[in-house]
């Protein structure tokens, strides 16, 4: 009898917990509005923000602050500040003596949640005397830079990888096999093997490669060539590629959760465009403001979030019909955006020193 009573009590407890969990399910993002809930400031100049999907958000603060700041997504509070200072010789780069600093640009998390990878616009220290520039080519002969790996259990840099000149975007394949890095001035994509911890492939892209997104099954990578009109579709088994004509000046790209649709910002025209990867055709295009920069998608795929750098706004777009649901003044020079799925919030990086956090409700 006693065991039966215990079982009944546990059943009631589990049932009540399931009811609470069901009550807390988020509404479809297309049916909600952005509501500002917090502004973070301090010693930050975030070029980008990135959510891990596990309750962590990081900001990457360039050469102006030489740091990566890490936040708890639920409390929206700072949990760690990671300096970009490294001793490169400690990682086997014996040609570099002394201490060096980086300039964090963008970040990406490993699918197992253990690591954060961060690109550095340039390196600072002995032996680095030709810093990259926004206007450049491989012939400019600027210094190569480094990708860092941050161990999230210790908030410390535990690995470094020499990549190209002015590395911008980094992504990790969902199968945790490769790290991909676009190099702005090298005009290429570096492929790093996680198993060997070495660059195993360099793929030529053309002028100003930037955004990267990877299919959910890890079979295909898509790379935006911001200095042109194309998305490079790369088979990750053979490294052969196809070109998708998307529009002038593509910067940031995201995929729908099922991997069938690609969305891109077209920076100069201030537009966001969709592309059907199954039917191989363009979908709708919408103008959201001046200089569309970073782009994020809700976890349910019903809404896009885009920051309009020249308009000082953030816009929310319904993916089903490309209707602009909302455009809000957010800050001077909004540059980065990410969707944090565990809290249903949208984080916006303001280049001049703030992070704005919005509920979707």
Q: What pLDDT digit, counting tens, does each position of 223-238 carry?
A: 999 999 999 999 999 9
Cβ neighbors of 110 (< 8 A, separation 6 or more) are: 116, 117, 172, 176
- Mean predicted lDDT score pLDDT of the chain: 94
Which phi and psi angles does 176 have, rounded to 5°?
Answer: 60, 35
The Cα 348–Cα 249 span in angstroms is 22
Helix (H) or strand (E) holding 185: none
Torsion of CA 209, 215, 220, 223, to 10 degrees: -10
For residue range 147-193, list pLDDT tens digits in order: 999 999 999 999 999 999 999 999 999 999 999 999 999 999 999 99
Cβ neighbors of 199 (< 8 A, separation 6 or more) are: 161, 162, 163, 190, 191, 192, 193
Which phi and psi angles does 11 have, rounded to 5°?
Answer: -65, -45
> Quick one: tokens of 220?
């295909």
The Cα 297–Cα 319 span in angstroms is 9
> Which residues, in sequence order, are bridge partners of residue 324?
317
Judge whether 243 and 231 are in contact, CB under 8 Å: yes
Q: Which band of pLDDT confidence, cut at 50, 70 and 90, is reported for residue 25?
A: confident
Residue 160 CA from chain centroid, whole number: 19
The Cα 149–Cα 320 span in angstroms is 37
Res 65 pLDDT > 80: yes
DSSP conformational letter for 76: T
- Domain regions of the chain by residue span: 27-358
Q: Which band of pLDDT confidence, cut at 50, 70 and 90, is reported for residue 20?
A: very low
Res 5 pLDDT > 70: no
Q: Give 95-103 contacts, CB < 8 A, sequence gap 24+.
A: 95/127, 96/125, 96/126, 96/127, 97/126, 97/127, 98/125, 98/126, 99/125, 100/124, 100/125, 100/126, 100/128, 101/63, 101/66, 101/125, 102/63, 102/66, 102/145, 102/146, 102/148, 103/62, 103/63, 103/66
Kindly report whether the global pTM for this prediction surpasses the value 0.85.
yes
Nearest to 62 by CA among 182, 170, 168: 168
Res 3 pLDDT > 50: no
Torsion of CA 187, 239, 161, 68, to 10 degrees: 70
Judge whether 136 and 142 are in contact, CB under 8 Å: yes
> Quick one: tokens of 32?
């909600």
Res 74 pLDDT > 70: yes
Which phi and psi angles does 136 have, rounded to 5°?
Answer: -165, 175
For residue range 33-51, list pLDDT tens digits in order: 999 999 999 999 999 999 9
The Cα 3–Cα 11 span in angstroms is 12
pLDDT, position 303: 98
CATH number of 27-358: 2.130.10.10
Judge whether 347 and 337 are in contact, CB under 8 Å: yes
What percent of the chain lies above the pLDDT cut of 70?
Answer: 93
- DSSP string covering 116-154: EEEEES--BBTTB-----SS--GGG-PPP-EEEEEETTT
Phi-psi region of 353 (alpha: psi -120 to 50; beta: other; left: phi over 0): left
For residue range 280-337, list pLDDT tens digits in order: 999 999 999 999 999 999 999 999 999 999 999 999 999 999 999 999 999 999 999 9
The Cα 60–Cα 84 span in angstroms is 10
The number of helix segments (H) and strand segments (E) in the chain equals: 2, 28
């Amino acid at each position: 009898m006693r065991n039966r009573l215990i079982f009944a009590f546990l059943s009631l407890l589990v049932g009540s917990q399931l009811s609470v969990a069901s009550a807390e399910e988020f509404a479809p993002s297309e049916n909600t509005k952005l509501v500002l809930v917090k502004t973070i400031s301090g010693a930050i100049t975030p070029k980008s923000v990135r959510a891990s999907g596990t309750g962590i958000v990081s900001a990457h603060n360039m050469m102006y602050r030489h740091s990566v700041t890490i936040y708890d997504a639920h409390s929206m509070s700072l949990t760690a500040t990671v300096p970009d200072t490294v001793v490169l010789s400690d990682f086997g780069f014996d040609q570099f003596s002394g201490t060096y600093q980086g300039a964090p640009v963008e970040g990406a998390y490993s699918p197992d949640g253990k690591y954060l990878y961060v690109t550095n616009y340039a390196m600072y220290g002995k032996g680095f005397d030709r810093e990259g520039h926004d206007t450049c080519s491989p012939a400019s002969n600027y210094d190569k830079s480094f990708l860092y790996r941050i161990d999230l259990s210790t908030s410390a840099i535990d690995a470094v990888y020499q990549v190209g000149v002015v590395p911008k975007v980094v992504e990790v394949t969902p199968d945790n096999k490769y790290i991909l890095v676009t190099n702005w001035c090298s005009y290429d994509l570096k492929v790093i093997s996680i198993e060997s911890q070495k660059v195993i492939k360099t793929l030529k892209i053309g002028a100003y490669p930037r955004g990267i997104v990877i299919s959910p099954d890890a079979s295909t990578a898509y790379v935006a060539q911001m200095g042109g009109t194309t998305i490079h579709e790369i088979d990750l088994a053979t490294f052969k590629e196809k070109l998708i004509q998307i529009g002038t000046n593509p910067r940031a790209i995201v995929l729908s959760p099922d991997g069938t649709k690609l969305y891109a910002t077209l920076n100069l025209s201030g537009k966001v465009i969709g592309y059907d990867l199954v039917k191989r055709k363009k979908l709708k295009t919408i103008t959201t403001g001046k200089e569309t920069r970073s782009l994020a998608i809700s976890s349910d795929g019903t809404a896009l979030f885009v920051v309009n750098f020249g308009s000082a706004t953030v816009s929310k777009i319904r993916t089903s019909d490309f209707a602009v649901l909302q455009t809000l003044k957010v800050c001077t020079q909004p540059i980065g955006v990410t969707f944090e799925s565990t809290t249903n919030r949208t984080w916006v990086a303001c280049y001049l020193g703030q992070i704005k956090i919005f509920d979707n409700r």
